[in-house]
Amino acid sequence: MQPTMMYPGMTPQMPPQAITVFPVDPYVVETLRSVTGKWVLIETTRGHVDGCVVDCKPDHVILENRRSKFFVRISEIVWIMPE
């Protein structure tokens, strides 16, 4: 039997827990930040959405279209086309 790996703040009685990791794509984030305030078409794994880029965070982008806001996960983006 192998010894259990210990993480900071973990006691020997605590069972190991899964750590969720969300990859950050710095090139996509930088591209989206460069078109803030502009209209874009974004193709995702579930279809496309278009709107004005309001803000971009490391894990999602916020688009606004006709007073509705859309929060799109960066990891779901296939391509981006500025209009």
The rounded Cα 18 to chain-centroid distance in angstroms is: 20
pLDDT digits (tens, 9 = 90+) for 40-73: 999 999 999 999 999 999 999 999 999 999 999 9
Residue 16 has pLDDT above 80, yes or no: no
* Closest by CA position to 65, among listed 45, 47, 49: 49
Q: pLDDT-derived band of residue 83, with 50, 70 and 90 as boundaries?
A: confident
Residue 74 has pLDDT above 70, yes or no: yes
Q: DSSP readout, 14-83?
A: SPP---------HHHHHHHHHTTTSEEEEEETTEEEEEEEEEE-SSEEEEEETTEEEEEEGGGEEEEEE-
